[in-house]
C-alpha cells in the first residue's frame, strides 16, 4: 500500500517505482486531509489515474484531521498529530480492503520520504538537532503497524527528479514545486480553522497562478503563501479595516538543504499584492519574505 496525503512528485516517483517492482499488488491511497490547496484532491486523483495509470483510492478524511487539530497552535504538535492521523487513516483503509477484497495481508507502507526529511526530523549520525518534525518521519507513531518501504530515503529532490525522468513521468509532474506533507497546516501559523484555511487557499492560488502566468514558476524551487495569526490596520475606500497579513515565500534551491529567496520582479510582486488584497476577503496587507535558508527554513513552521 502506498501512502499519500499530498502526493508530491516524490510520492509519485515512489509509487511508480514500486508498481514496476510488484505490479497490481500496489494500492495507492490519496488522503484529503482538509489541508490541501484549492481543488487539489479532485485534480490529483484524476491525474494519478488518467496520466500515470495508478490504482488510487481517494479517502476524504478532512473532518478527522481538522477535529484533531482544533485548538492546536504549536507547529511540532501539528506535525505529530498529522503524522499519527495519516497512519490511522491508512490502517482503517487497510482493514477495510482486507475484509472486502482479495488483498491478503497488507503489511507494508510505501512513502516518498527523502533524505532531507530525515536530516531535519531526527538525529541521523551524531548530535544533530531536530529542526522540525516531518510528518512522515518523526511524526509517525512508535507503534507503527506497517513495515515502512522508503525507496527514495537516501536521495535528494534533484536526484529523485532524475529517477522520475528515467521512469518516464511527465515533466510537469516532476517540476512541480515541493509541498509540505502537513499541507497548509504549516503555512497557517497558529490554530487551523476552516475560515483561515479558506483565506490561505485563495491567496495561494492567486500567487501560484501568477507565477505561471508570468513564466516564473520554473525559475522557483518552491513557493507559497503564509497566513499570520495577527491582524493589521488598513483602509479600503473610506473605511478602516483590521485584517490578516499574507506573506509570500518563494525560494531557489537545488536540493532543499539550502535556499535563497527568489529575486522576483517588482512589477510581478506589485500585481500579486494588488490581486490578493482586492480579491481575498479579510486580507489587507501583503509582504514578501527575503530570508535565506539558513538561518530561516523554507516553510515557516
DSSP 23-52: GGG--EEEEE-S-SPTTHHHHHHHHHHHTS
pLDDT in tens, 13-56: 998 899 989 888 888 899 999 999 999 999 889 988 888 888 89
What pTM, to 2 d.p., does this model score?
0.84
DSSP structural state of residue 259: B
Q: Could you tell me the residue ranges of all domains in the chain?
A: 9-178, 187-288
CATH number for the domain formed by residue range(s) 187-288: 3.30.300.10
Domain 9-178 shares a fold with domain 187-288: no
Contact at 8 Å (CB) between 72 and 192? Answer: yes
Write down the CATH superfamily of domain 9-178: HUPs (3.40.50.620)
Report the candidate in 179, 131, 230, 148 with the shortest Cα–Cα distance to residue 12: 179
Contact at 8 Å (CB) between 168 and 162? Answer: no
Report the relative pairing of strands 108-110 and 56-60 from DSSP bridges. Answer: unpaired
pLDDT in tens, 229-257: 999 999 988 899 999 999 999 999 988 88
> Could you report the average pLDDT of every consecutive run of 10 residues in the chain (301 residues)?
55 88 88 94 89 90 97 94 90 84 74 80 52 52 79 88 88 85 95 97 98 97 97 91 97 92 98 98 97 96 92
pLDDT in tens, 154-163: 998 889 889 9
Amino acid at each position: 500500500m502506498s501512502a499519500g496525503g499530498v502526493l508530491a512528485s516524490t510520492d509519485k516517483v515512489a509509487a511508480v517505482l514500486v508498481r514496476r517492482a510488484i505490479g497490481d499488488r500496489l494500492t495507492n491511497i490519496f488522503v484529503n486531509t482538509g489541508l490541501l490547496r484549492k481543488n487539489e484532491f479532485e485534480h490529483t486523483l484524476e491525474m494519478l489515474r488518467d496520466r500515470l495509470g495508478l490504482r488510487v483510492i481517494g479517502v476524504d478524511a478532512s473532518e478527522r484531521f481538522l477535529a484533531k487539530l482544533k485548538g492546536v497552535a504549536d507547529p511540532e504538535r501539528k506535525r505529530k498529530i498529522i503524522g499519527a492521523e495519516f497512519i490511522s487513516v491508512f490502517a482503517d483503509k487497510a482493514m477495510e480492503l482486507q475484509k472486502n477484497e482479495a488483498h491478503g495481508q497488507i503489511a507494508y507502507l510505501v512513502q516518498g520520504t527523502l533524505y532531507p526529511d530525515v536530516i531535519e526530523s531526527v538525529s541521523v549520525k551524531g548530535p544533530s538537532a531536530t529542526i522540525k518534525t516531518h510528518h512522515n518521519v518523526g511524526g509517525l507513531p512508535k507503534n507503527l503497524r506497517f513495515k515502512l518501504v522508503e525507496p527514495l530515503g537516501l536521495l535528494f529532490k534533484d536526484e529523485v527528479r532524475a529517477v522520475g525522468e528515467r521512469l518516464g513521468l511527465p515533466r510537469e509532474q516532476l517540476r512541480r514545486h515541493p509541498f509540505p506533507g502537513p499541507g497548509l497546516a504549516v503555512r497557517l501559523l497558529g490554530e487551523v480553522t476552516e475560515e483561515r484555511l479558506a483565506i490561505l487557499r485563495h491567496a495561494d492560488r492567486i500567487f501560484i497562478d501568477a507565477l505561471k502566468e508570468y513564466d516564473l514558476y520554473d525559475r522557483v524551487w518552491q513557493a507559497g503563501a503564509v497566513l499570520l495569526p495577527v491582524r493589521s490596520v488598513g483602509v479600503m475606500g473610506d473605511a478602516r479595516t483590521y485584517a490578516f497579513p499574507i506573506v509570500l515565500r518563494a525560494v531557489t534551491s537545488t536540493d532543499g538543504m539550502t535556499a535563497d529567496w527568489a529575486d522576483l520582479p517588482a512589477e510581478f510582486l506589485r500585481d500579486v499584492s494588488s490581486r490578493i488584497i482586492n480579491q481575498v476577503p479579510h486580507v489587507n496587507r501583503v509582504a514578501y519574505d527575503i530570508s535565506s535558508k539558513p538561518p530561516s527554513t523554507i516553510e515557516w513552521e
